[in-house]
With several copies, the nearest count.
Chain A
């Protein structure tokens, strides 16, 4: 599938929004954490997994989804959340642990839930595979439209939960797509050191499911392949597995010294940063003008600024709110 101009600009916009969002989160995260880096401190405590470099995966896939569709995301969820259209203000507030966040600060950055757009994520690798199947099953049983996308990392593919869900999805022909973000690392362990095969698309055959591998972190190629797979799923053709080569431009989490990365690797990836690359492509093939792109970037920045301001200004939840929402109201 080839993206229309609107779709291309939609993808670009969401990549930029995600990047701008994370840039500012990165900055604020360090508040209160210098000179001594202590995760517990600052306006955004806890772990922080940035997704910069991985935006093409999120936008290439989510370009084909609407609010009714389901996404289960990972511990590195911002780009996926933004591309799925979650409420950015509430997400920012959640990351700050404020009462105006999705869960009022109970969840935090690894537990973003926006029921309005059927978005969820979690901190256990591969934990989203099963719920994606279940949501897809719900639609299948009710004869309601909707495709579920389970994002996971290439490291997570070696978790038993992935295997079980793949089999279940294929067996029941569920409308679910497993999207593997291959950023080459699971924390400090390389794909080579963790996975017996160089590419996980070959694992699709173990379930009689189509498998795809996309090189070079290319949003157009991702759009194409994901589009076909999602269309197929919508038409009752069942699940697919898509592995996408992408780039982790930062550490596993903030504070990661990354001593395990081969020299020069990161610099080389930064050279291939997908956002400037996409901008260049859009300009060079004439899809849009620099002015159009500048406008998008400005809009993204102000949307992000607004979200951050919203989060900053929001109140903390009451301490005692910790004790509520354990069970459904």
Chain B
């Protein structure tokens, strides 16, 4: 599954996820994987490819289309000492099984006062841009991050994807791992080249709860996660041509949220634009802006802005969907409207 170089080996996010799971399964026999089409098919989005061949059907379990059953089974197994990794194929499907996620997985540690731990990872795909329609293109970051008891992460590149997955599998609390389809490196979904980066071969962790400053700047802070990061980086490139220096923050983790990194950046730049592919209202973009504003408004040189998905279901037609999605031009325009 892995090639030979150590630090000069580019992986897609899909391969980075699979490699992380593979390595952890090799050293920890309690780790196993459940989900729809994660066996023979290797996951619709490629992130469990090769695992069935190495670990067999007991540890790599294709499930019936019964998300409530297998996600809540993962909770039961986790409480019994196993460390399941389960896949909800599309985040959009959370509605059929959210009770098992938010009311059970996320709360049993609390309800037991720490008497049980729930070491499990729920991985799920997010995002649109390829005309999959309104029940297969949502991000729903806010829907997961709003509810207490689960950590929520989303990588923007393969390095983080591998390290976050390893960290998630080693965490004794439930972690929701949201991977954006457009970053998976599966050609059939389109591919954001910037997500396929050098990825160490041996295992390592990326800290859950720590944001990353991917690009330093002085005029404006662009905050995003997953695909939003790439839109922000491209916008920063465009802005640089106009001599505007943008700082780009990759949130990496929504829960815990690294508020300090955001606040410090905006204290420096005085301007904030949040890029979010989830629905605009009552979600991530509002939380980030509020984080800054409730801390100290005196540092702001302009009203903060958001480039988020409008509050409408996701349309199928390419032109309508692209019209709604965040993109670098919208970010640049937002900046220009600020100054």
A and B from one assembly?
yes
Question: Which A positions have Cβ atoms within 8 angstroms of B?
Answer: 36-40, 45-47, 70, 72, 97-98, 101-111, 113-115, 118, 120, 122-127, 129-139, 141-142, 148, 155-156, 158-161, 164-165, 167-168, 171, 186-189, 193-195, 255, 259-260, 316-317, 319-323, 325-329
Complex CA–CA separation, A125 to B318 (angstroms): 24
**Which B residues touch A40, using CB under 8 A?**
129-131, 189-190, 318
Specify which of B76, B104, B117 lies most central, judged by the most chain A CB atoms within 10 Å of its CB.
Answer: B76
**Which A residues touch B320, using CB under 8 A?**
97, 105-106, 317, 319, 321-322
**Which B residues touch A38, using CB under 8 A?**
130, 187-190
**Which B residues touch A122, using CB under 8 A?**
103-104, 111, 135
Complex CA–CA separation, A137 to B312 (angstroms): 30
Assess the A130–B80 pair: CB atoms within 8 A: no
Q: How many contacts between A and B, using CB within 8 angstroms? A: 301
**Residues of B within 8 A of A (CB-CB), count:** 83
Assuming A113-B111, A130-B70, A138-B77, is B65 touching A155 (CB within 8 A)?
yes
Query: Who on chain B is nearest to A130 by CB?
Result: B72
Assess the B37–A187 pair: CB atoms within 8 A: yes
- Among A126, A189, A329, the residue within 8 A (CB) of B62 is A189
Complex CA–CA separation, A56 to B218 (angstroms): 65
Assess the B135–A110 pair: CB atoms within 8 A: yes
**Which A residues touch B217, using CB under 8 A?**
none
B310 at the interface (CB under 8 A from A): yes
User: Closest CB of chain A to B127's CB: distance in Å?
Assistant: 12
Assess the B316–A316 pair: CB atoms within 8 A: no
- Among A37, A126, A127, A141, the residue within 8 A (CB) of B187 is A37
Complex CA–CA separation, A159 to B64 (angstroms): 8
Assess the A131–B112 pair: CB atoms within 8 A: no
**Which A residues touch B114, using CB under 8 A?**
103, 325, 328-329
Within 35-90 of B, Cβ neighbours of A (below 8 Å) are at 36-37, 39-41, 44, 58-59, 62-82, 84
Assess the A131–B72 pair: CB atoms within 8 A: yes
Complex CA–CA separation, A106 to B113 (angstroms): 7
Assess the B66–A134 pair: CB atoms within 8 A: no
Query: Who on chain A is nearest to B62 by CB?
Result: A189
User: Closest CB of chain B to A66's CB: distance in Å?
Assistant: 15
Assuming A36-B187, A328-B114, is B32 touching A194 (CB within 8 A)?
no
B192 at the interface (CB under 8 A from A): no
Complex CA–CA separation, A129 to B216 (angstroms): 50
Complex CA–CA separation, A76 to B294 (angstroms): 44
- Among A45, A47, A155, A316, the residue within 8 A (CB) of B64 is A155
**Which A residues touch B151, using CB under 8 A?**
327
Assess the A103–B115 pair: CB atoms within 8 A: yes
